[in-house]
A and B are shown apart, each in its own frame.
Chain A
Amino acid sequence: MRVIIASTTVPLIDGGGRLIVRWTAEAMRAAGHEVEEFYLPFPTDPRPSLSAMVGLRATPFAGSADRLIAIRWPAHVIRHENKATWFIHHYRQLFDLWHTPYRGVPANAEGVAYREALRRIDTLALGESRDLFTNSLIVRDRVREFNGLEAEPLFPPLGGDTSRFHTQGYGDFIFYPSRVTPIKRQLMAVKAMHHTTTPVKLVIAGKPDSALFGREIREYVRQHDLEDKVELRFGWLEEDEKVELLAQCLALAYLPLDEDSYGYPSLEASHSAKAIVTLQDSGGALEFVRDGIEGRVAEPNPQDLAQVFDELYEDRAATQQMGERSFARREELNIAWPHVIRRLLGEDA
């Protein structure tokens, strides 16, 4: 099949947003399809312009492939006679974050009308898609709530060659690899280490978004004499180094606040057969991790998190078993490229 994957991008910023597109394209090519990727610039203003949206909709893709797959907002407005949309999230400030401080548009008459215009555009573009998928249950529910449409959750797998992931025992440290930023709550993991009573350790790896947050974490470690229990590896983490740490760790921590999807770190832990520690308000991760089965779901405070860390350390057998269930969870949820590609191309599951 000839497939166009259309996505939006900010030129010269090669963020995680492009990963899912590139991986999908690679997996489709490996399955024998002819795939072309298109990345159309779209600004990430607090208030996207409606004219840029019209421009995107005007882009003439009709007739030029057997299937067009739109990934990343607002690529779904692109027209094609056989369009599938893999919806990652809404323009969040206007919808699920409307009632939070993240709202970027005032809730006055004009702002409300603007939001309504975008809601209608979304509903039209999602509704005209021949097949509509989301990357999580949360986003499926939001599409139901804001657009009155039924979408099928289609969980994105890790791309590339995943055979590099392996298991090499269950060490004495919890591993938290992620971008270091307040919303990922690395500081709460460090604070938990102040309350642990077992010899369990914590390794945090990733690039701090802001030097300030990195300093705050470092300062906490120093003030509470946690140097022996907490290892901070700030900066870019080499892929093979990450793979080794995943192979050796006791369990993985992934503690974002209210995220849309389970996040790639969860999948990397699963590929390495490691239990995942997350929090009750972490969002999408809870679709992958059930408390006591694939890992642990703690209350979002340092004391409870510390207790979970200690329990994982003390009952290694149970921790290993959760790691094995974490490995098996991908298959249960159909997190696999053959399934994803079949569905994206409109074939039966």
Chain B
Amino acid sequence: MKLLVANNAAPFVRGGAELLADRLVLELQQAGHEVDLLRLPIGNTPDQILEGLVAASLLDAVNVDRVIGLKFPAYLIPHPDVVIWLVHQFRQAYDAPPVGWPKDPALDPLVSAVCAADRKAFAAAKRLYTISPMVAERLQRSNGLTAEVLMTPPHAEQAYRNEEAEDFVVALGRVSDGKRQVLAIQAMRHARPGYRLVVAGAPDSPQMLDVIKREIDSAGVGDRVELIPRFISEEEKLDLIARSIGSAYLPIDEDSYGYVVYEAAMSGKPTITATDSGGTLTLVDHGRTGLVSAPEPEALASAFDELALHRDRARAMGQNARTLALELDLSWDRVVEELTR
């Protein structure tokens, strides 16, 4: 099939969506398709957002059998065969502040233009997928549309291992406000004795590292929290997971299921996440594959306790988590098959 993968672009900025688009192109090519990647600038100011909308709507994508649209405004390209794999909508037009634009009469016409263009594109699309249940829920809420969830596969399949748990819960990922390692550290003040917390990952900034260190001091948990504040290699990460009691992953409102959660599950370890962590709930089923706690230190401490002090339960949840991860079939083969059928 001749395919055009259409993504938006902010010149000189690369993030997760760019990686996803590049990987998708590669996977489609490996499956024998002819694929080109189109990057369409989205613009910065509200005026430019409208211009980007116009540009995408008037674009003539010749010589391709199908357009696979990922982001606004790229999925607006008029073509008889468009399949949308929605990474996310233009949330400024839909969400409440601070993600969304503040209420401003000057912006209202633009908001309605975005919504109208979306409505038209979603209705015209041959099929509509989202990359996570979260994005599907938002789509349901804002546009009243039901989309099939086609989750983003992990970057690479790893040599996952499971070992007998040692005496720690591990918190992996970039050390940042959004991932809330601070919350896990605060929880350790309330935790029962007998286990530790290992926080491992590169801090977003030197300031962030200071915040974390201060938090450990002021909570007086220096002897129970081990901090490894640097980039953690894949091998190190899998080793830490394999030896852990379980993984704590507490992002705020994440779009996806979280690669860290997937990696823990594939290693046969349960995950503790928060009620407001968003997509992580895809893989964390409370009491079965892990624990979902209120985002508060005391509540989180009891969740830690439950796993650390009932190792057989933790082990069983870890096994369930692996079964669930395998059932979800997060493979590129499936993504390619769905997007090209």
Which residues of chain A have a CB within 8 Å of any CB of chain B?
A: 2, 4, 10-13, 34, 36, 38-44, 49, 51-52, 54-56, 58-65
Contacts and interface: CB of A to CB of B under 8 A. Distances in A.
A58 B144 CA distance: 30
22 contacts: A2-B11, A4-B11, A11-B38, A11-B63, A11-B64, A12-B34, A12-B36, A38-B11, A39-B38, A40-B38, A40-B40, A40-B59, A44-B62, A59-B40, A59-B41, A59-B52, A60-B49, A60-B51, A60-B52, A61-B41, A64-B11, A65-B11
Given A12-B64, A55-B55, 4 more contacts: A11-B36, A41-B60, A54-B54, A60-B51
Given A11-B61, A52-B59, A63-B44, A36 B12 contact: yes
Interface string B50-79: 011011111111111000000000000000
A41 B54 CA distance: 15
Contacts of A55: 54-60
A18 to B, nearest CB: 11
Contacts of A42: 60
A75 to B, nearest CB: 13
Contacts of B43: 60
Main secondary structure of the interface of B (DSSP, over half): mixed
Given A58-B51, A64-B44, A43 B58 contact: no
Interface residues of B, number: 32
Nearest to A34: B12
Contacts of A43: 60, 62
B120 interface: no
Contacts of A54: 54, 58
Contacts of B10: 64
A38 B63 contact: no
Nearest to B49: A60
Instruction: Give 10 closest A-B pairs by Cβ, nearest first.
Output: A55-B58, A60-B43, A60-B48, A58-B55, A58-B54, A11-B36, A59-B55, A60-B51, A64-B11, A43-B62
A84 to B, nearest CB: 16
Contacts of B56: 55
A60 B62 CA distance: 21
A287 B207 CA distance: 61
Nearest to A52: B60
B42 interface: yes
Contacts of A4: 11
Interface string B75-114: 0000000000000000000000000000000000000000
Contacts of A10: 62-63
A26 to B, nearest CB: 17
Contacts of B55: 55-56, 58-60
A59 B55 CA distance: 5
Nearest to A53: B58
A63 B36 CA distance: 26
A2 B51 CA distance: 22
Contacts of B39: 38
A61 B45 CA distance: 11
B141 interface: no
A12 B5 CA distance: 11
A14 B62 CA distance: 14
Contacts of A34: 12
A39 to B, nearest CB: 8
B238 interface: no
A51 B200 CA distance: 53
A168 to B, nearest CB: 39
B125 to A, nearest CB: 19
A36 B40 CA distance: 12
Contacts of A51: 58
Contacts of A62: 48
B2 interface: yes
A34 B4 CA distance: 26
B41 A38 contact: yes
A41 B59 contact: yes
Contacts of B49: 60
A170 B57 CA distance: 57
A60 B41 contact: yes
A62 B57 CA distance: 19
B60 A12 contact: no
Contacts of B11: 2, 4, 36, 38, 61, 64-65
A65 B41 CA distance: 12
A62 B41 CA distance: 10
B58 to A, nearest CB: 3
B57 A12 contact: no
A271 B309 CA distance: 76
